[in-house]
Amino acid sequence: MPQQLSPDGFSLTIERGSPVVTLHDVAVSGGVGWSFLNRATLLVVDGPGDEGFLLARMTAPDVDAAPTGRDTAVASAGSVTVVVPGGRFSARVLD
């Protein structure tokens, strides 16, 4: 079952033009088979089986947790880098 993370449980950045999602204080079973859904108000980092995370992109009315240019970076890259304690992996972007 996907776990909903509070706004302080993740961060969204762009590193060298590539989108990065950092998930704080979570554990994942591995870095294979992940996907990412990028929407205006909700982001989904979906893993194998029941693993996954729901991220509220809008943290308050008119307050977007994503930095300017992030949507373009996600669309251009076709994947995002997911950083978790102890590792990082790639998640392909779903349309």
Residue 95 located in a structural domain: no
Confidence category of residue 59, pLDDT binned at 50, 70, 90: confident
Is residue 40 in some structural domain? yes
Strand partners, 87: 84
Instruction: Let me know if residue 52 belongs to a domain.
Output: yes
| DSSP reduced 3-state for 4 | strand
Q: What domain range includes position 58? A: 3-90
Beta bridge partners of 84: 87
pTM: 0.94
Q: For residue range 69-92, list pLDDT tens digits in order.
A: 999 999 999 999 999 999 999 999
Q: How many domains, in total, are found in the chain?
A: 1
Q: Give me 21's structure tokens.
A: 């999602």
Residue 7's closest CA among 45, 46, 55, 68?
A: 55
